[in-house]
Structure 1
């Protein structure tokens, strides 16, 4: 039902901006002045999307311990007003906010010469899915798939362990928490996989999912997210 409602929403133009409430003629649901307020992510680590000073390409963490995924891209800093829109989307069921960000992020995230073969949303454990009622990464990935014309496989990757909540854990603790928590349920051998999530924090969830996909034969993993934390 959630994804059918997203389909109905795609066919409509939002009359009022989701942020300021003014008349909005843009099909993303955010008016042009509010779009200009979104904190665009400029210089960032090519491996994990961590914000970096100008001219830097790779962060010290990725130089010392390269992640399993080959690259990561995020459209914005996790800051006002993007952070507030993601909170509304993820925890209050505001699908319009999630779709609006995904629609605006899609043209910013895909490099012109490096498209993945298949898009996979990072899955939720069934208990978390039952509590929330939808997977925020799948909503985002569906819009990226639509704009990029890349197949979406929402059930190929499965989260088999709920683990502990991640918010208060550092990267090493998150990796231990997520160890062996993903299983691959379809063929990925030789494929360039695009993993999609809402926010990249430490990259530990992407790391665990990437390890599972590489172990199943995937050739390369690229990560895409709406926002990156500092």
Structure 2
């Protein structure tokens, strides 16, 4: 029910910009506000960490510990007003905000350097899903797949254990927290998988799921997210 509602492009029906209250733009946000969104123009070529250097630079963390995934593509930095919209979408059931962000991100991130064979979202444990009522990553993946004409497999990954909240943990603590908490439901021999999530902080969740996908036969894994934290 949620997916059907989200897929009707809620933002298209808005008459007022959800940020400034002026006349709505193409995706529920006026052109002036869209132009002020914190686009991630320069980030690490692997993990998308915002950098001051030129494009295709590599952050110190990825030099020391190259990630299992090939690349993270992020539309924006996790800064105002993107962080505000994502929080509304993720925690307050504002599906119109999620729809706007997904459509804008689809345009911002296309075309990728290497198009994946299919997209799949980072899963929620069933307890978290029951509490929230939806998985925001599933909604984003569905929207990106529709815009890009790429197949989406919503249940390829499964979260088997209910892990502690990640927000206050370091990267190493997150990796330990996520160890063996994801499984892949089928073999994916030779496939290029595109993981989808809302925000990347340390990359630990993407690292953990990538390792499982590679173990299940994936050729490589890339990721697409709305925003990257500093």
Shift of 1:189: 0.8
User: Do the aligned partners of residues 11 and 48 (structure 1) sit closer, same or farther apart at CA in structure 2, a change above 3 Å counting?
Assistant: closer
**Contact in 1 for aligned 2:121/2:141 (Cα 8 Å):** yes
Residue number in structure 1 paired with 2:136 = 136
Moved segments of 4+, more than 2 Å: 7-13, 110-113
- Bigger Cα displacement from structure 2, 179-188 vs 51-60: 51-60
**Contact in 1 for aligned 2:117/2:191 (Cα 8 Å):** yes
Question: Aligned equivalents of 1:116 and 1:25: distance in 2?
Answer: 30
Residue number in structure 1 paired with 2:171 = 171
Q: How does 1:1-230 map to 2 (within 5 A)?
A: 1-9=1-9, 12-26=12-26, 28-55=27-54, 57-230=57-230
**Contact in 2 for aligned 1:13/1:25 (Cα 8 Å):** no
- Bigger Cα displacement from structure 2, 72-81 vs 54-63: 54-63
Question: Aligned equivalents of 1:130 and 1:198: distance in 2?
Answer: 19
User: Do the aligned partners of residues 101 and 182 (structure 1) sit closer, same or farther apart at CA in structure 2, a change above 3 Å counting?
Assistant: same
Question: Aligned equivalents of 1:74 and 1:112: distance in 2?
Answer: 11
1:121-167: CA deviations, max 9, x gaps?
A: 10000000000000000111111101110000001111101111101
Question: Aligned equivalents of 1:112 and 1:39: distance in 2?
Answer: 19
Question: Aligned equivalents of 1:112 and 1:128: distance in 2?
Answer: 31
Question: Aligned equivalents of 1:178 and 1:121: distance in 2?
Answer: 16
- TM-score, with structure 1 as normaliser: 0.96
Which 5+ residue runs of structure 1 have no aligned equivalent?
A: none
Aligned positions, number: 229
User: Do the aligned partners of residues 16 and 191 (structure 1) sit closer, same or farther apart at CA in structure 2, a change above 3 Å counting?
Assistant: same
SS in 2 for 1:8: coil
1:25-63: CA deviations, max 9, x gaps?
A: 41x111101101110101101110001123251111101
SS in 2 for 1:123: coil
Shift of 1:23: 1.7
CA RMSD, Structure 1 to Structure 2 (Å):
1.3
- Bigger Cα displacement from structure 2, 7-16 vs 156-165: 7-16
**Contact in 1 for aligned 2:78/2:227 (Cα 8 Å):** yes
